[in-house]
């Protein structure tokens, strides 16, 4: 008979080993009554979706410095927010970030609702994010389950059902462990445990505060867990990106439609991305095909882009997009795949 994992044991470990993050109020400060800022918790959780802490830190610091409150963000220019988000990926999150900020500013007087049921109604907030905000920001005993928690729970109880089939079972086990007191610290503690001790490939089991009650450790199965269903191969789509430079150095860019991939983001005009895209040049020009292609991986497919380049005179007008003066152009404001196009053209100029 295995002993039941104690939340207090994990909290004791967390009190001495909590990771320092710019959005986090550590256990010592929380004990002094310093409350987390729901805006910063929400912002960090949206950024952290399908992204690592290391990748998010710089973005979070820039966002929270430029827009220190949810009202500031609600009043921001859409293009400025999308440009700051560039490189983080999953751009629907940035669009929903603005939508959510404006709902909180307009409908809640700039104050985040505190309950899971209210939070989950906000744009871009799903079950995980609602639970995380309610728990971490407001200390409600909600069950927070991310990839780190799934791994910890699967190993604690030696659960071999593969993900995603195992999600309900893992969530139920996690719910039974969530304490009524210090729920916010506990949520962060179990995520920290998965991120720093119960890691995917080389778990430091000897340092784990729950090692005496871990069934996978006892059974020698920790490295097998959590099991996952085999991934289906990603399809490959192809397309053409059109890089147009005017004789004065201005570049032709367009804002992509609000809906769809890279929605609302600034980029080079392109064809559709599919098996056999039709040509869609945005301006009359003599086109040169670069002798290399851009490759990029999205969540559901791989993309291969041929790049066509052209120089045009001052009086040539595009059928779509607008010319941006070179002094006003920042490559860092482009999504990653579009920046790859710019880098490829730039490399070609060096040769």
Known catalytic residues are: 45
- Given a contact cutoff of 8 angstroms between Cβ atoms, the answer to whether 189 and 13 are in contact is yes
Q: At what angle do helices 53-66 and 38-48 cross, to 10 degrees?
A: 140
Contacts of 180 (CB under 8 A, 6+ apart): 141
What's 276's DSSP letter? S
**Extended strands (E) in the chain:** 236-246, 251-255, 266-267, 288-297, 302-312, 322-324
- Alpha-carbon span 198 to 155, nearest angstrom: 9
Phi, psi for residue 33 in degrees, rounded to 5: 95, 10
| CA quadruple 312, 316, 321, 324: dihedral sign | positive
Q: How many of the other CB atoms lie within 10 Å of CB of 346?
A: 11
DSSP SS3 for 97: helix
Contacts of 134 (CB under 8 A, 6+ apart): 114, 115, 116, 119, 140, 142
- Given a contact cutoff of 8 angstroms between Cβ atoms, the answer to whether 53 and 195 are in contact is yes
DSSP string covering 113-163:
--SHHHHTTSTT--HHHHHHHHHHHH--------HHHHHHHHHHTT--SPB
b/e per residue 107-123 (b: at least 16 CB within 10 A): eeeeebbeebeebbebe
- Alpha-carbon span 100 to 123, nearest angstrom: 5
- Given a contact cutoff of 8 angstroms between Cβ atoms, the answer to whether 244 and 312 are in contact is yes
């Amino acid at each position: 008979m295995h002993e039941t994992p104690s939340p207090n044991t994990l909290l004791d470990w967390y009190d001495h080993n909590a990771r320092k993050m710019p959005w986090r109020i550590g256990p010592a400060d929380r004990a002094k009554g310093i409350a987390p800022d729901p805006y910063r918790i929400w912002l960090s959780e949206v950024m952290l979706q399908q992204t690592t802490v290391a990748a998010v830190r710089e973005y979070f610091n820039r966002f929270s410095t430029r827009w220190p409150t949810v009202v500031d963000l609600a009043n921001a220019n859409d293009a400025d927010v999308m440009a700051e988000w560039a490189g983080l990926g999953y751009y629907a999150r940035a669009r929903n970030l603005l939508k959510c900020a404006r709902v909180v500013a307009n409908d809640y007087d700039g104050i985040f609702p505190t309950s899971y049921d209210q939070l989950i109604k906000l744009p871009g907030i799903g079950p995980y994010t609602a639970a995380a905000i309610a728990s971490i920001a407001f200390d409600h005993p909600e069950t927070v389950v991310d990839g780190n928690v799934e791994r910890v729970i699967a190993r604690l109880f030696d659960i071999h059902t593969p993900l995603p089939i195992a999600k309900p079972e893992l969530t139920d086990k996690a719910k039974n462990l969530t304490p009524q007191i210090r729920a916010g610290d506990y949520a962060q503690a179990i995520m920290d445990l998965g991120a720093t001790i119960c890691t995917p490939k080389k778990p430091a089991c000897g340092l784990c505060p729950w090692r005496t009650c871990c069934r996978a450790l006892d059974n020698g199965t920790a490295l097998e867990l959590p099991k996952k269903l085999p991934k289906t191969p990603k399809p490959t789509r192809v397309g053409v990106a059109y890089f147009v430079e005017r004789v004065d150095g201005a570049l032709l860019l367009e804002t992509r439609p609000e809906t769809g991939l890279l929605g609302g983001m600034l980029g080079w005009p392109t064809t559709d991305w599919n098996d056999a895209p039709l040509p869609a040049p945005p301006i009359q020009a003599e086109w040169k095909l670069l002798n290399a292609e851009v490759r990029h991986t999205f969540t559901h497919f791989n993309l291969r882009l041929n790049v066509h380049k052209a120089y045009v005179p001052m009086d040539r007008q595009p059928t779509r997009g607008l010319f941006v003066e070179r002094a006003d152009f920042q490559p860092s404001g482009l999504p990653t795949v579009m920046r790859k196009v710019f880098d490829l053209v730039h490399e070609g100029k060096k040769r």
